[in-house]
Amino acid sequence: MNKLILGRYIPGDSILHRMDPRAKLIASFYYIGIIFLARSWPAYLLLFVFTMALILISKIKLSFFLKGVRPLLWLILFTVLLQIFFTRGGTVYWQWGFLSLTKFGLLNGAYIFMRFVLIIFMSTLLTLTTPPLSLADAIESILKPLKVIHFPVYEVALMLSIALRFVPTLMDETTKIMNAQRARGVDFGEGSLLQQMKSIIPILIPLFVSSFNRADDLATAMEARGYQGGEGRSKYRVLKWQTRDTLAFVAMAVLTVGLVILR
């Protein structure tokens, strides 16, 4: 549980930390989209060099990004194996029934693996360099045009900010509950699959109870402070678009041109 990076922010003074959260959010989604333009090894090499450059600029240790990959490693490997053994085309190296190992299968598996790693690195970079509340403010600002169709922009932004704020808290509380259960003799890693699933129940029940209690306390605190939604409220954190935010999109445009050429 302590390997999850979602919702965790590392304070810093790098250029990425000082960027407008709206620019970082839009650029991150744009980057995830253009990853699928890569169709060759030079294109993926360009993406890796670009991503590593961003990590160096952020002044955050690479170990944090590797921790972001670990919880999803089995999902990545499962997806890669599906691509390897069920994609046909090119030279056949091995075949047994409906399973086959082909040249295109190996290429697709390698491409899928690199896409997963790049997407996780970029999303982790966004999370580590942007405070959760600033990220929620960015989402609220981006969704403001939807108010025309009566979309609940402020409510969605509030839910996202609360969720992002309490993800690390819930992870820490889960760890405390598991340690308390271990002290009482519970072993979460032994027995059959059914027994391991049953051992999770002593974790979920107190976690749900504490979550509901925390939600009730939060609602009471908001009512006591007169919270009435976003209409007419001022902002403590004012978002300002600056030159470095525009330069970030110029860099994204150059990266897109490079990927198109390397296709």
pLDDT tens readout for residues 176-230:
888 888 887 777 666 676 777 777 777 888 888 888 898 899 889 988 988 776 6
Residue type, 166: F
Distance between alpha carbon 241 and the CA centroid of its chain, in Å?
24
The confidence score (pLDDT) of residue 1 equals 47
Give the residue among 10, 13, 54 at the shortest CA–CA distance from 255. 54
pLDDT at 84 over 90: no
Pair of tokens at residue 19? 């960027």
Q: Residue 192: what are its φ and ψ, rounded to 5°?
A: -75, 175
Residues in the chain: 263
Coil, strand or helix at 130: coil
Judge residue 219's burial from the number of C-beta atoms within 10 Å of its C-beta, 0-12 exposed, 13-18 middle, 19 or more buried: exposed
Helices (H), 59-152: 62-69, 73-86, 103-129, 132-143
The pTM (predicted TM-score) of the whole model is 0.76
Q: Where are the domains of the chain?
A: 13-129+240-260, 141-223
